A and B are shown apart, each in its own frame.
Chain A
Amino acid sequence: MSEALSLRLSEALTPAKIGKGVLIALVLLWSLGPIYWALNSSLMQPVDLTAVPPHAFPPAPTLKTYSGLLGLQGAADNATGASIWPHFRAATINSLVTAVAGTLGTIVVAALGGYAFARLRFPGRNIVFGLVVATLAVPGYTVIIPLYRLMIKLGLVDTYLGLTLIYMSAFLPLALWLMRSFFLSLPKSLEEAAQIDGASRLYTLFRIVLPLAMPGLIATAIVTFLSVWQQFSVPLVFSPTYATKPLTVMIPELASRHDLNFGLINAAGILAILPPFVVVVFLNRFLVQGLTAGAGK
């Protein structure tokens, strides 16, 4: 090894940099370790899942659990071999529909409301905003029983509309907060220039402000989508059948009282991760940009 190379290495490997590298490795292990373990388990033969010590890699990899879940072969129903694909398909569609509907509904209201709280002057503006944001501190389970009664009365249990309304009410405060912060971070001068040119408030909002606020809107949409996607306690109560039952409620049902099919559960979990994974990977830059906007305000 040349002297110059060893000098460069010693410059590169400072204790601070090594410490940083170790920390990053630990964080990655902490975050990705469980996902790897789920993937590893999903690819194992059932009989290899209980080995002691456990296998770090599948000794005889199989895609049987995935093919069963996706209906490519009929044998995945734990006890009998009947296909579980119809339920998995229904739950996936339900998760997607409720996540998309909840997200769209939330960002539409959050965009309009956030702009109003940021730019319009009306009596009690800050108090109303403070009250809306304060609802973030209310634990969901404290309102679930009155909400259930209300939904029964309205005939909205086990409907997409009912779930969407619940998700909108649950995630709107955070979305409003994010959108207001984003609008406050935008320069007022553009809006004032448009108004001097005769543009109405709505025209200014839709044609000038919202295009500029797109990173904030996308960030808010991602946060809302991820929050709705992982919902469990709400659909547990409000989605009794496969008309609306999502993956989060369906997957635990794969663990029956008599049988614990780790492989099938992990395969379903891995597939359930994919939609949010795709959303975050492709829209990550908007997420960072949108969430950091207004941070200095």
Chain B
Amino acid sequence: MLGRGISRKLAAALATTALTTTLFCAAAAQAEEITVLLPSFGADATTRQLLEGFTKESGIEVNLQTMSWDDIRPKIVTSMVAGTAPADAIEFDWSWIGQFGAAKWFTPLDDKFDAALIKDMPTASVFTYEGKLYGVPYANDFRVNSVNMALLKKAGITEAPKTPDDILKDAKILKDKKVVDYPVSIPLAAAEGTSTAWYFLTRMYGGELFDKDWKPLFTAKDSAGYKALEWIAQGLHDGLINPAMTGLTDMQVTASFAGGNAAIDLAGHPYDLATYNDPQKSKVVGQVTYSLAAADPAKPMTIALPEAMGIPVNSKHKDAAVKFIKWWSEHQPEIYTAVSVLPTRTSALEGLAKDGKLQGGAEIAKYSAYTQAIFSQGTPAWYSEFSGAVSATINQVAKGQITVDAAVKQIADRAQSAQQQ
């Protein structure tokens, strides 16, 4: 009797334990959580509200971690070198693909997303390394010229300049007619935005930076890269570009342009109109339009600078992270409306433009089709060193410390030494 009683009690205890464990596990499974590391959009509270929509659909909680753009890479590198995933879905800039791809820090995503979805994202190829896709673009970015048509009209100019030479020509008219002291703005601080502006100008002149063997193509006087740098030096020499630009990054140039301090912002962003048309922040409301210029106006081109989300190889929630990235990709129009992250899907851009919800929509939809990767061979692992050399050298040229000839040689030497390392 006693033994049977003990057996019953034991069985009851085991059943209770099993039931509790099952319920606990079920609860734990329901409460799966992923961490997502993204740069701040300046609207974190709204972003968090948006992500509740994903949690409702999938049952997966999102722990959103945001950082300033400049600080996010050191955080990722530190974590990955330490062998730990900084988050399950993380920011992946176009310029990191060479370094991160070579380090094999990220999970290949080719078989995890529908081919149709990736095909709808023209910049997805930027995140391919050795034939494998490591990031799904979520934030579109490319370069355009922002043109203050009200100022141009004051000088009797009726249309936005179509070639790099036109820009300098129009700027001279604007200066001579005293419409504005320094008609052209361009970032010239020793920072990434300056390098990007040079790449953009190089494309305006219809050229590439390197050949297929990574030999510099910008050292000859008739090369696009050389002409681009000469264009900057000429603009400064003629007083068309404010020398104070040597201390400004691209975002600071945007803020300055919003103050009506220039007529043409070279290498602006496709989301700047939101700032320019905000009366709280801008003195040029309703005056600015986007345009592209090219040495051959029949072949306008711009550079793609998208941002993607990737999944670290040591993430413990890869499937949930894939679901999250898919959800973001499918909800790009709503996300743009809420927090101004420009869609990477062509269909999303076209839909927003059609509905009149995209500032400068017609131009953005048109110009996004002209985007090309900065490096047609793929971003190299030594990109960050090259980019640092480019911005520092252009800053030196802008300050009159070295000539254009010396500058292109310096950039080429640094590129080659970076490759050898």
Contact = CB atoms under 8 A, between A and B. Distances in A.
A43 B282 CA distance: 17
Interface string B301-334: 0000000000000000000000000000000000
B75 interface: yes
Interface stretch (A115-123, A214-222, A247-255, A272-280): A247-255
A259 interface: yes
Given A77-B43, A77-B46, A258-B271, A50 B78 contact: no
A257 B69 contact: yes
Contacts of A233: 74
Contact of B78 (A84, A145, A249): A145
B45 to A, nearest CB: 4
B70 interface: yes
Contacts of A79: 41-43, 46, 339-340
B46 A249 contact: no
Interface string B273-284: 011000111110
Interface in A44-67: 45-47, 49-52
Contact of B274 (A50, A82, A249, A258): A258
| Chain B binding surface SS class | mixed
A171 B252 CA distance: 36
Interface string A69-95: 000000001111011101100000000
A237 B78 contact: yes
Given A253-B67, A258-B274, A50 B256 contact: yes
Nearest to B278: A46
A240 B37 contact: yes
Interface string B68-79: 111100110011
B138 to A, nearest CB: 12
B82 A77 contact: no
Contacts of A46: 280-281
A83 B45 contact: yes
Contacts of B254: 260
A233 B282 CA distance: 34
A252 B71 contact: yes
A82 B35 CA distance: 22
A50 B258 contact: yes
Contact of B39 (A146, A237, A257): A257
Given A80-B338, A259-B275, A260-B254, A47 B46 contact: no
A144 B81 CA distance: 11
A52 to B, nearest CB: 5
Contact of B86 (A240, A261, A262): A240
B37 A256 contact: no
A130 to B, nearest CB: 30
Interface residues of B, number: 51
Interface string B253-269: 01110110100000001
Nearest to B259: A50
A148 B46 contact: no
Contacts of A51: 259
B376 interface: no
Interface in A84-117: 84, 86-87
Interface string B42-73: 11111001000000000000010111111100
B151 to A, nearest CB: 14
B255 A47 contact: no
A82 B255 contact: no
A80 B46 contact: yes
- Which interface residue of A50, A236, A249, A252 has the most chain B CB atoms within 10 A? A50
Contacts of B402: none
A74 to B, nearest CB: 10
B84 interface: yes
A258 B340 contact: yes
A284 interface: no
B30 interface: no
Contact of A86 (B45, B252, B279): B45
A252 B255 CA distance: 17
Contact of B84 (A146, A152, A256, A258): A152
A83 B78 CA distance: 31
A241 interface: yes
20 contacts: A50-B259, A78-B43, A79-B41, A79-B340, A80-B45, A87-B44, A145-B81, A148-B79, A236-B74, A237-B79, A240-B86, A252-B70, A252-B71, A256-B42, A258-B42, A258-B271, A258-B275, A259-B275, A260-B251, A261-B42
Smallest CB-CB A-B distances: 7 pairs = A50-B259, A256-B42, A78-B42, A82-B45, A252-B68, A79-B43, A253-B40
Interface of B: 35, 37, 39-46, 49, 63, 65-71, 74-75, 78-79, 81-84, 86-87, 139, 181, 251-252, 254-256, 258-259, 261, 269, 271, 274-275, 279-283, 338-340
Given A47-B258, A49-B259, 20 more contacts: A50-B258, A50-B283, A77-B43, A79-B42, A79-B46, A80-B46, A82-B43, A83-B45, A87-B44, A237-B75, A240-B86, A252-B68, A252-B71, A254-B40, A255-B40, A255-B42, A256-B39, A256-B41, A258-B269, A259-B275
